[in-house]
Amino acid sequence: MAYDKQLPKKSDDISGWYNALMLQAELAEYGPAKGTMILRPYGYAIWELVQQKLDAAFKANGVENAYFPIFIPESLLQKEASHLEGFSPELAIVTIGGGEVLQEKLIIRPTSETIMYASYSKWVKSWRDLPIMINQWNNAVRWEKRTYLFLRTTEFLWQEGHTAHATHDEAIVTQKWAMGAYAQLFRDQYALPGYIGTKSATETFAGASSTMTYETLMPGGKALQSATSHDLGQNFAHAFDIKFQDKNSKTEFVWQTSWGLSTRSLGGLFMVHGDDKGLRLPPELAPIQAIILPIRADDKFMSYADQVKSRLIDSKVRAKLDTRDGESLGFKINKWELKGVPLRIEIGAKEQADNKVKIVRRDNGKIAIVDVDKLSETVENLLKQIQDNLYKQAIDALESNTYSTADYADFKQQMSDSKGFIKANWCGNNACESMIKQETTATTRCKTDSTVEGNCIYCGKPHASEWYFAQSY
């Protein structure tokens, strides 16, 4: 039990703070194989809440879940050249099965385009078979040299959606719809604002025609790519021969999209909202929204505490009563603050005598003494306020760390002083992008909404679009 240990201060040592927090809050720990992660029940419960929300949004749009094998024969992965090239350095490979050396190596899926589209090519014959809208919730493996709990792990959990359409327009609509679903999830559940836009050619998914991204700001000023949605064009359709007869009996290749969100996004959630006392979970993603702490464990208190819990459970609040033996009230307060539970409900002798409870907000420490008859209503309101407040704090941080400049010296200075996002014009040339990265450590994150053109901040060429730049997590 580590709740009485001090966390490093977030502002002093973000990396030490983050690692200690993941362990002490019992969210996750490293597995025995390098770079793998054990998602403990408290961390996994947050992922389950994400799954519920996103799965419902997918199904409401006609997406069906399925499951494809984790093993991709090497020859299948080789079918789309740029896809193979992108993933080659990151592969985990099975060479032995059932005591024998395999004739063909099996790749542990880093992503499932190739294995899914081999099936799509068998399933699609006519325009009537389209669209295909399939999602998987599964595990995937990408070998990582430097790992970080949630943010960069060799094995991760995610969903990957894969669609096939009769027209490019329909594919684009789906690519944008998926990004819209992520944006809504990040805004309404994660309380995480971000910038949405298209990636540069060098940052586009291996095998895609275009990649849309949701970029969030981490404390310390780096950007985290939190979810992506790809227009795959007809690249995989050609490689896997996915063709259909259109309404005029003409044979055409399908147009495809893929889109994914992983446990990585939870790392961003913890990073952004946490403070020196530990996690601060947005109520929408808090497995426990209200923790009830009676100051003593005798029968009189416990029956009152039980009544408080029942009221909350009845109004669909995820409430828990901490009856653990052998921990002081102070210890328990620290523990649940560290675990980021949005509301703490304390019950002392006075509260009980007055038929009241004391409610303490995790986000700002504000205290309210509330009549038990008004408990559910008050708690629901407070949870909404906390959700809104966390979003407001995050958007303030994002906006106050987004700069705009047309001067390269200024850009360099800014990136070296305080990082964050910089809006600047770029001509789209790989060479400029690469030199900017080399000289400033900043990468292109995504194109902004702005239609105003300017001169490239590096080469000065006119008619350059505006991009977000930042260091990458």
3-state per-residue secondary structure call for 203-267: HCCCCCCEEEEEEEECCCCCEEEEEEEEEEECHHHHHHCCEEECCCCCEEECEEEEEEEECHHHH
- Whichever of 263 and 444 has its CB closer to its own copies, that residue is 263
Residue 152 near residue 32 (C-beta atoms within 8 A): no
Site for its own copies in 24-43 (CB under 8 A): 29, 31-33, 36-41, 43
* CA 414 – CA 18 distance, rounded (Å): 25
Site for its own copies in 146-185 (CB under 8 A): 154-155, 157
Least distance CB 395 / its own copies (angstroms): 31
* Residue 23 touching its own copies (CB under 8 A): no
Of the candidates 229, 357, 230, which has an alpha carbon nearest to the alpha carbon of residue 292? 357
Alpha-helical regions (H) of 6-40: 14-24
Of the candidates 471, 420, 150, which has an alpha carbon nearest to the alpha carbon of residue 279? 150
Residues written for the chain? 473
Distance from the Cα of residue 381 to its chain's centroid: 26
Task: Verify cis geometry, omega within 30 degrees of 0, for the bond prior to 8.
Answer: no
Least distance CB 94 / its own copies (angstroms): 5
Least distance CB 124 / its own copies (angstroms): 12
- Whichever of 64 and 246 has its CB closer to its own copies, that residue is 64
Site for its own copies in 114-153 (CB under 8 A): 115, 118-119, 125-126, 128, 134, 138-139, 141, 143-145
Number of shown-chain residues binding its own copies (CB under 8 A)? 61
- Whichever of 31 and 220 has its CB closer to its own copies, that residue is 31
Half-sphere exposure of 425 (CA within 13 A, CB side): 18
Please return the burial class of 295, using the count of CB atoms within 10 Å of its CB with bins 0-12, 13-18 and 19+.
middle
* Residue 88 touching its own copies (CB under 8 A): yes
- Whichever of 155 and 433 has its CB closer to its own copies, that residue is 155
Only segment of 78-86, 102-110, 207-215, 357-365 that touches its own copies (CB under 8 A)? 102-110
Least distance CB 37 / its own copies (angstroms): 7
- Whichever of 195 and 236 has its CB closer to its own copies, that residue is 236
Site for its own copies in 51-80 (CB under 8 A): 64-73, 76
- Whichever of 134 and 457 has its CB closer to its own copies, that residue is 134
* Residue 330 touching its own copies (CB under 8 A): no
Least distance CB 438 / its own copies (angstroms): 25
Least distance CB 393 / its own copies (angstroms): 30
Half-sphere exposure of 41 (CA within 13 A, CB side): 1
Given 16, 97, 460, 462, the residue binding its own copies (CB under 8 A): 97
* CA 464 – CA 388 distance, rounded (Å): 37
Of the candidates 364, 383, 464, which has an alpha carbon nearest to the alpha carbon of residue 423? 464
Of the candidates 54, 297, 84, which has an alpha carbon nearest to the alpha carbon of residue 158? 54
Q: Under the rule (CB under 8 A), what is the footprint of its own copies?
A: 1, 29, 31-33, 36-41, 43-45, 47-48, 64-73, 76, 88-99, 105-106, 108, 115, 118-119, 125-126, 128, 134, 138-139, 141, 143-145, 154-155, 157, 324-326
